[in-house]
């Protein structure tokens, strides 16, 4: 009996060791036999967090629906490698605490393949470590913070917008050359958005070249103290690193205080249709506003990208009012489809990230995309615009620069036209 028991114990132990060994082998290869989250033979599911409500919803609430409309257009034309794109859009109200909740839901419950174009510097910063830990591709963040360009720390995160220091340098370069001798002041959001933009401005104008600096927080819509301080300081040019609602608040408040500076505004808060909706009958106050953009101007009906996006908007976005946010959302969608095509039919999170790192993408942007293994920052420049006669138009050349101390140079390469059917090929 004891011999039989010993033989049974040996057999049981051997089976246990074999099972343990097999389990360890599976752990050594995390991808062995594992399904790719959000990917089936017929579908790719990605998600985003957006301010559909709250202080940043003006204009920005239109971005994700425009991206979805472009995906629906691609789906109607056969999808990507035979798969249809599903875009889960959740509202975070531009509240960082809410962002953390909804992104965890998208990743852990909805099992999305990637997070695409999550919007906001203060909001998205709070989910970087979570997405990194869970190895979720974090593509084309809707913000110009330099946080997204940390390939060693966050290898799966990539920006889209020109970073705010690059933008600040280009705007300040225009002020220095076209408005010499004017007293320059700066208003920025009280986070990396405002701080990075100010760093760029001061790289060109110097710290002494900014006569007064003010900040705002999105929870307080009274900017009269800041604008009043600019008036008292005799500011002639005010550079704004503001979301659209606070651009409109600044311009409207200045008018009430009989303060009429030259406004020079970040691309984040310079879209004319959005600002006009905010100001209503006072939209004429925007005349002369200088902005920066890196995508086709929404009112340029001769541009082939605007023609494509207008068609997509009519067919798949319910004919929503067409503005710079619509263009932005569809440009993000186009780039994401390019990357999916490059990643191939055997799609994994790793192949998607590697496809972005390889770079070489061209599309509607007037400035270069800078993706590489060592640069995750997105667009590297932009072109200045001016509001004249109630219309927003480009003027002058496109510029590119870096976030360090490099010069602001002209960029002469024109954007490529869209493919005939509006869908990038593999």
Q: pLDDT digit string (tens) for 39-67?
A: 999 999 999 999 999 999 999 999 999 99
Q: Cα(286)–Cα(270) distance, rounded to whole angstroms? A: 10
Predicted confidence at residue 34, as pLDDT, reads: 65
For residue 98, give every residue at least 6 positions away whose Cβ sits within 8 Å of its Cβ, in sequence order, or none: 91, 92
Task: Inform me whether the pLDDT recorded for 81 exceeds 50.
Answer: yes
32 versus 189: the higher-pLDDT residue is 189
The runs of H, that is alpha helices, within 206-348 are 224-232, 244-256, 272-279, 304-316, 324-343
Count of residues making up the chain:
426
Neighbours of 67 (CB within 10 A): 30
pLDDT band at 179 (very low <50, low <70, confident <90, very high): very high
| b/e burial code for range 2-19 (CB count within 10 A of at least 16 → b) | eeeeeeeeeeeeeeeeee
pTM: 0.89
The crossing angle, in degrees rounded to 10, of helices 324-343 and 272-279 is: 140
Structure confidence by residue, pLDDT tens digits, 88-113: 999 999 999 999 999 999 999 999 99
Structure confidence by residue, pLDDT tens digits, 385-416: 999 999 999 999 999 999 999 999 999 998 89
* DSSP code of residue 17: H
Q: Cα(89)–Cα(64) distance, rounded to whole angstroms? A: 7
Residue-range domains of the chain with CATH: 43-162+300-380 (3.40.50.2300), 165-293 (3.40.50.2300)
- Of all residues in the chain, the percent with pLDDT exceeding 90 is 91
């Amino acid at each position: 009996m004891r011999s039989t028991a010993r033989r049974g114990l040996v057999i049981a132990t051997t089976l246990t060791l074999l099972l343990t060994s097999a389990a360890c082998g599976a752990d050594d290869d995390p991808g062995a036999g594992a399904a790719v989250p959000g990917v089936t033979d017929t579908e790719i599911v990605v998600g985003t967090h957006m301010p559909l409500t709250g202080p940043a919803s003006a204009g920005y609430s239109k971005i994700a629906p425009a991206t979805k409309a472009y995906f629906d257009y691609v789906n109607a034309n056969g999808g990507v490698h035979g798969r249809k794109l599903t875009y889960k859009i959740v509202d975070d109200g531009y509240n960082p605490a809410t962002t953390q909740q909804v992104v965890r839901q998208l990743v852990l419950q909805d099992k999305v393949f990637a997070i695409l174009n999550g919007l906001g510097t203060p909001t998205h910063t709070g989910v970087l470590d979570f997405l990194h830990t869970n190895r979720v591709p974090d593509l084309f963040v809707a913000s110009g913070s330099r946080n997204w360009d940390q390939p060693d720390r966050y290898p799966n995160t990539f920006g889209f917008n020109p970073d705010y220091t690059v933008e600040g340098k280009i705007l300040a370069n225009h002020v220095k050359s076209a408005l010499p001798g004017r007293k320059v002041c700066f208003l920025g959001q009280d986070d990396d958005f405002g701080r990075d933009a100010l760093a760029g401005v001061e790289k060109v104008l110097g710290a002494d070249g900014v006569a007064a600096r003010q900040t705002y927080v999105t929870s307080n819509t009274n900017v009269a103290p800041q604008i009043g301080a600019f008036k008292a300081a005799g500011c002639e040019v005010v550079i704004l690193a503001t979301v659209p609602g606070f651009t409109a608040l600044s311009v409207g408040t200045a008018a009430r205080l009989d303060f009429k500076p030259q406004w020079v505004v970040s691309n984040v808060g310079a879209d004319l249709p959005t600002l006009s909706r905010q100001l209503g009958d006072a939209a004429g106050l925007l005349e002369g506003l200088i902005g920066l953009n890196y995508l086709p101007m929404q009112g340029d009906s001769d541009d082939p990208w605007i023609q494509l996006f207008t068609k997509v908007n009519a067919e798949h976005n319910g004919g929503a009012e067409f503005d710079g946010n619509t263009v932005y959302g569809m440009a993000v969608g186009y780039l994401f489809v390019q990357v999916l095509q490059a990643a191939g039919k055997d799609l994994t999170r790793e192949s998607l990230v590697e496809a972005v790192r390889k770079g070489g993408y061209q599309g509607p942007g007037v400035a270069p995309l800078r993706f590489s293994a060592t640069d995750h920052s997105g667009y590297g420049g932009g072109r200045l615009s001016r509001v004249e006669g109630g219309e927003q138009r480009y003027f002058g050349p496109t510029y590119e620069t870096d976030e360090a101390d490099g010069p602001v140079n002209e960029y002469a390469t024109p954007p490529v036209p869209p493919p005939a059917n509006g869908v990038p090929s593999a």
